[in-house]
Homo-oligomer: A and B are copies of this chain.
Amino acid sequence: MKQSAAQSVPGLSGSGYTAGIDIGGTKTLILITDNSGHVVVRNKKPTVQAEHAEAFIEGVFQQLDEVLQEAGLLRHSLIGIGIGFPGAVNPHTGMIHHVPALPLDGVNLLELIRPYYSGPLYLDNDVNIAALGECWQGAGAGSTQMVMVTVGTGIGGAMILNGELHRGAGYTAGEISYFVVDHRPEEAAGSVSSLEFGRYESLASGTGIGEHARRWLHQRAGGAGEQIIAQAGTIEQVQAIHVLQLAAAGDGDAQAIMAEPIGYMAAGLANIVSLLNPERIVVGGGVSESSYYMSELTRRVQQFTPIEAQLVPARLGNEAGALGAVYGVLQTLRTPAER
Contacts and interface: CB of A to CB of B under 8 A. Distances in A.
Given A169-B277, A303-B189, A180 B178 contact: no
Interface residues of A, number: 58
Contacts of A278: 168-169
Contacts of A272: 275
Interface stretch (A23-31, A74-82, A158-166): A158-166
B180 A276 contact: no
A279 B185 contact: no
B267 A172 contact: no
Contacts of A307: 170, 172, 175, 178, 194
A182 B183 contact: yes
A264 interface: yes
B192 A300 contact: no
A274 B196 CA distance: 14
A270 interface: yes
B279 A169 contact: yes
Interface string A149-164: 0000000010101101
A304 B145 contact: no
Contacts of A274: 175-179
A21 B275 CA distance: 25
This chain: how many copies in the complex? Answer: 2
B263 A185 contact: yes
B182 A184 contact: yes
A142 to B, nearest CB: 12
B176 A277 contact: no
B189 A304 contact: yes
A178 B303 contact: no
Interface string A294-315: 0000001011111111000000
A33 B200 CA distance: 47
B185 A259 contact: yes
A148 to B, nearest CB: 12
B277 A172 contact: yes
B194 A306 contact: yes
B263 A189 contact: yes
Interface in A179-209: 179-185, 189-194, 196, 199
Contacts of A210: none
A183 B275 contact: no
Nearest to A198: B274
Contact of A277 (B170, B182, B193, B276): B170
Contacts of A181: 180-181, 183, 271
Contacts of A191: 302-303
27 contacts: A162-B166, A168-B278, A169-B278, A170-B307, A170-B308, A174-B277, A175-B274, A175-B277, A178-B274, A178-B304, A178-B307, A179-B275, A180-B181, A180-B267, A180-B304, A181-B183, A181-B271, A182-B183, A182-B184, A183-B267, A184-B184, A185-B260, A185-B264, A189-B303, A192-B306, A199-B304, A271-B275
